[in-house]
Structure 1
Amino acid sequence: MKNVLRALKRCAVIGAVALAAVSIQPAGASASAPAPADPQPVVGGTRAAQGEFPFMVRLSMGCGGALYAKDIVLTAAHCVSGSGNNTSITATGGVVDLQSASAVKVKSTKVLQAPGYNGSGKDWALIKLAKPINQPTLKIATNTSYNSGTFTVAGWGANREGGAQQRYLLKAQVPFVSDASCKSSYSDLIPGEEICAGYAQGGTDTCQGDSGGPMFRKDNAGAWIQVGIVSWGNGCARPNYPGVYTEVSTFASAIAQAAAGL
């Protein structure tokens, strides 16, 4: 039987809450109670500098994402409602301040949700943009070589459980958590499709509103590489409940094939 925690994804509902209130929380937190109605940011994070993570994208449905290509955003499957033509999503890029006059806003044209996605695992999706966002892209891991060490997470989600979405991009660092350890917290973890990160004592994690955003680290050449996609967790930054992320390397070939067909 699936753990009910999977029902609590880390996306946020945008509407009643103004984007000016958007914030970010560190990865690792999810909720055992119903998700708050307002979006949330990375918990335990600090403000990112302009241009520090130029591949970061904010999506109008209350999720994050990263530029896989200048005209394609990689995000979470649970952030979208299926595949096909879709012009309802607005991607905001090029800024850390969502209210900046320099923000680049581009509408979507198509969405591809991971084939076979049913709410458990396979939590990735691609959004095709009407025109490119002229910012550096974030390469994705194609093997498990980088599934270790300390990762960076960033987003405009809540900065505390139950908090509001943030206006400014927040960032935080979280350590890798082994599958064995993560399974002790989440019995329905899917090793090979999901990867965990966070501190045993809690305090730093992603949160509602960070869903779909990247978890990344430096590769051997010193360049950023995406290892995970913010997916789910129990609350935000709770002790012994790390954040759960889609393991990007598992789906790298499928993502590349899907992107080529968009």
Structure 2
Amino acid sequence: MTDMRAKDGVRFELLSWIIHPGFHLRESASWNDIAIGYLTPEIKFDYHIQPVCLNDNPDLILDSKIAKISGWGSLKQRGLYPDYLQEAEVEIYSDRRCKKSKLGYYYRPEIMMCASSYPMDSCSGDSGGPLVLDSGWGYMFQVGIVSFGIGCGLRGSAGAYARVSTYYDWIQEVTKNVKTCSTP
């Protein structure tokens, strides 16, 4: 569903989850910020519900690409939460630009990426959400997972995302090689 107040829509229950063994939370930052959730009932794919393709290519150049984020998080720093699913376009920054942003000390390029397009940004409540790119082949593929930020929607700020390609092998191991499409 895309409206929190709607009575219809498909609901799933989270049965269990596996947190990455290297997960670490320190101050405002999270390292290895990824988990796999198991849902019930089984997901039935249709026109509205499709699996996401995962970025399995660590050499894919993402700098300056325009990606999409979506979520139910706050619309601004210390702001209200929306009734409707939100979507925005953000620019994926180079590792150098991420390091120079407010993320600075907390940024680890081997496991993270960052993105923002002032004032558009992921915010509190968006954690775990997708950072996706259009493949150009009729589907989207996920390159990041919303992790943390030092503020949100602020000038000089960028959201930090877990880098999906870093965790691709772990995802495959935990999910017993779930079928996913590769990046173009």
State whether TM-score is above 0.5: yes
* Cα shift at 1:140: 0.9
Kindly indicate whether the alpha-carbon contact (under 8 Å) linking 2:22 and 2:31 is maintained by their aligned counterparts in 1.
Answer: no
1:124 aligns with 2:34: yes
Deviations 1:46-68 (A, max 9, x none): xxxxxxxxxxxxxxxxxxxxxxx
Amino acid at match of 1:96: T
1:261 Cα deviation from its structure 2 partner: 8.4
Structure 1 SS opposite 2:172: helix
Question: For residue 15 of structure 1, what is the aligned residue in structure 2?
Answer: none
Contact in 2 for aligned 1:146/1:219 (Cα 8 Å): no
Structure 1 unmatched runs, 5+: 1-94
SS at match of 1:132: coil
Aligned to 2:8: 102
Given residue 112 of structure 1, which amino acid in structure 2 is its aligned partner? I
**Cα displacement (A) at 1:146:** 5.6
Alignment match, 1:188: 106
Is 1:177 paired with 2:93? yes
Q: Secondary structure at the match of 1:252?
A: helix
Q: 1:241 to 1:177 in 2, by over 3 A?
A: same
1:123 shift after superposition: 0.7
Q: Runs (4+) of structure 1 moved beyond 4 Å? A: none
Q: Distance in 1 between matches of 2:5 and 2:43?
A: 17
Q: How does 1:87-98 map to 2 (within 5 A)?
A: 95-98=1-4
Deviation at 1:221, TM superposition (A): 1.6
Say if 2:72 and 2:82, in contact at 8 Å, map to a contact too: yes
Structure 2 residue 170 is matched with structure 1 residue 251: no
Matched residue type, 2:112: E
CA distance in 2, matches of 1:105, 1:220: 30
- CA shift at 1:222, angstroms? 3.1
Higher RCO (C-alpha 8 Å, min separation 6)? 1
Looking at structure 1, the residues matched to 5 and 35 of structure 2 have their Cα atoms a distance apart, in angstroms, of 26
Q: Do the aligned partners of residues 146 and 259 (structure 1) sit closer, same or farther apart at CA in structure 2, a change above 3 Å counting?
A: farther
Percentage identity across paired residues of the two chains: 30
1:231 has 2:147 as partner: yes
Shift of 1:176: 1.2
Shift of 1:249: 0.7
The yes-or-no answer on 1:113 pairing with 2:25 is no
Alignment of 1:13-28 (within 5 A): none
CA distance in 1, matches of 2:43, 2:78: 32
After superposition, the C-alpha distances for 1:117-145 in whole angstroms (9 at most, x for unaligned) are: 12242111011012123221111100132
**Equivalent in 66, 79, 88 of residue 150 of structure 1:** 66
Tell whether 2:120 aligns with 1:204: yes
- What letter corresponds to residue 253 of structure 1 in structure 2? D
1:220 Cα deviation from its structure 2 partner: 4.0
Structure 2: state its 5+ residue gaps.
179-184
What's the CA shift string for 1:81-130, capped at 9, x where partnerless?
xxxxxxxxxxxxxx111222222222122210011212242111011012
Contact kept in structure 2, 1:151 and 1:176, CA below 8 Å? yes
**SS state at 2:162 partner:** strand
Q: Secondary structure at the match of 1:208?
A: coil
TM-score w.r.t. the length of structure 1 is: 0.60
Query: TM-score with structure 2 length normalisation?
Result: 0.84
In structure 2, give the amino acid aligned to 1:196. Answer: C
The structural deviation recorded for 1:177 is 0.7
